[in-house]
């Protein structure tokens, strides 16, 4: 007689139709009960796709029966997700050709949000996903430098702007239009106008993802994003120290008010790894990001250590996932990008696990 845990591992062979992920990792398997002559598998899902659910039922029944020779009963509980708040205004129009728009934010500056946004965008591109990166920080744009395109002025197609493409990522940033010593001294309406221009007047083409690198805090840029485009979700970047974690609350609350799901929390500079001896030092503390994610019931997407290679790659204009794909931290960024992609796909399919 197999154990419930052994049957759970067996169910990892059952893929959700149309996806590469199995029903266990999607969180659909709620319980497994073993009787003397039968097995009962309880599934829970928000999907109402009857055809997909029937295909899953058939595959489970055949797989479990072949492995155990027991009768198989499958119970599916379909729960509707909570209805979103009624919007106060008209639905926001999508950007033509652009799929999921994901915003990467932080409650305060200095947490490495742009480094995360740039590496996640490049990691998505290396997975074969058509990816764009929009730097929404008018006052402190850094995406162009991190991609090594600071001196590349975008071309124009009539009155429209052609994004600069580097490492498979189509990018636009205020840094592409400024000299090294040119400050941006604008009032809020000008920031809103710039973001509108980047959304509506850039020739993005066909994209699977458009990653938004938001400025820190909750100001004009965030409000402009909320008013103009539908977000597939938001990611909050933090560091472990308490002063940064306090601002995670603001970041999560901001996305809730924007009616965008929080795809997860990333703890950057989670610990320091000595380049010489490999010793680990928790300079800013450790684990606060994961604790905060659990507190708010959102996914924890991963922790990124403070290592020289990440900083050096960004300064050189070649993000570490591009310059050294085999580096352990490149694999961390790839895992985070994969987790973001999985979250967006799950929500698009109506399979919400958080």
Mean pLDDT across 308-319: 92
CATH number of the domain that residue 66 is part of = 3.30.300.130
User: Does position 331 have pLDDT exceeding 90, yes or no?
Assistant: yes
Q: What are phi and psi of 329, to 5 degrees?
A: -75, -25
Domain span including residue 289: 98-349
Assess whether 311 and 188 both reside in one domain: yes
Per-residue confidence (pLDDT) for residue 104, from 0 to 100: 93
pLDDT at residue number 354:
57
User: For 9-13, 42-46, 78-82, 271-275, which range has the lowest pLDDT when averaged over its residues?
Assistant: 78-82
Q: Tell me what the pLDDT averaged over the chain comes to.
A: 82
d(CA 170, CA 130): 9
Whether 211 and 80 have beta carbons less than 8 Å apart is answered as no
Domain count, the chain: 2
| Whole-prediction pTM | 0.73
Structure confidence by residue, pLDDT tens digits, 232-271? 999 999 888 766 566 677 788 788 777 788 898 999 888 7
Which tens digit of pLDDT belongs to each residue from 185-216? Answer: 555 578 788 888 999 999 999 999 999 998 87
Range in 15-19, 185-189, 321-325 the model is least confident about: 185-189
Pick the more confident residue, 261 or 221.
Answer: 261
Tell whether 92 is covered by a domain: no
One domain, residues 147 and 233: yes
d(Cα 354, Cα 329) in Å, to the nearest integer? 26
Q: Is residue 125 part of a domain?
A: yes
The better pLDDT of the pair 281, 132 is held by 132
Residues 106 and 74 grouped into a single domain: no
């Amino acid at each position: 007689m197999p154990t419930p845990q052994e049957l759970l591992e067996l169910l990892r062979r059952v893929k959700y139709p149309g996806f590469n992920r199995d029903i266990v990792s999607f969180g659909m398997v709620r319980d497994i009960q073993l009787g003397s002559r039968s097995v009962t598998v309880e599934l829970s899902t928000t999907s109402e796709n009857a055809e997909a659910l029937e295909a899953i039922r058939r595959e489970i029944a055949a797989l479990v029966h072949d492995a155990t020779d027991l009768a198989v009963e499958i119970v599916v509980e379909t729960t509707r997700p909570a209805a979103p708040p009624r919007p106060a205004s008209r639905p926001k129009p999508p950007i033509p050709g652009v799929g999921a728009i994901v915003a990467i934010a932080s409650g305060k500056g200095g947490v490495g949000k742009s480094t995360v946004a740039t590496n996640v965008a490049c990691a998505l591109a290396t997975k074969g996903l058509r990816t764009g990166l929009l730097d929404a920080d008018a006052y402190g744009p850094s995406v162009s430098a991190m991609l090594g395109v600071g001196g590349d002025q975008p071309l124009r197609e009539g009155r429209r702007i052609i994004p600069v493409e580097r490492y498979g990522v189509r990018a636009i940033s205020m840094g592409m239009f400024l000299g090294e010593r040119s400050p941006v001294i604008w009032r809020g309406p000008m920031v809103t106008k710039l973001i509108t221009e980047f959304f509506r007047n850039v020739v993005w083409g066909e994209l699977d993802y458009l990653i938004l690198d938001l400025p820190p805090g909750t100001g004009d840029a965030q409000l402009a994003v909320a008013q103009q485009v539908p977000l597939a979700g938001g990611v909050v970047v933090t560091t472990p120290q308490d002063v940064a974690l306090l601002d995670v609350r603001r970041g999560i609350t901001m996305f809730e008010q924007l009616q965008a799901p929080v795809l997860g929390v990333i703890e950057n500079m989670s610990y320091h790894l000595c380049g010489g001896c490999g010793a680990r030092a928790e300079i800013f503390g450790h684990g606060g990001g994961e604790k905060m994610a659990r507190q708010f019931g959102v996914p924890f997407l991963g922790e990124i250590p403070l290592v020289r290679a990440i900083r050096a790659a960004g300064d050189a204009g070649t993000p570490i996932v591009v310059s050294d794909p085999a580096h352990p931290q490149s694999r961390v960024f790839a895992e985070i990008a994969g987790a973001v992609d999985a979250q967006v796909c799950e929500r698009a399919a109506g399979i919400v696990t958080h």
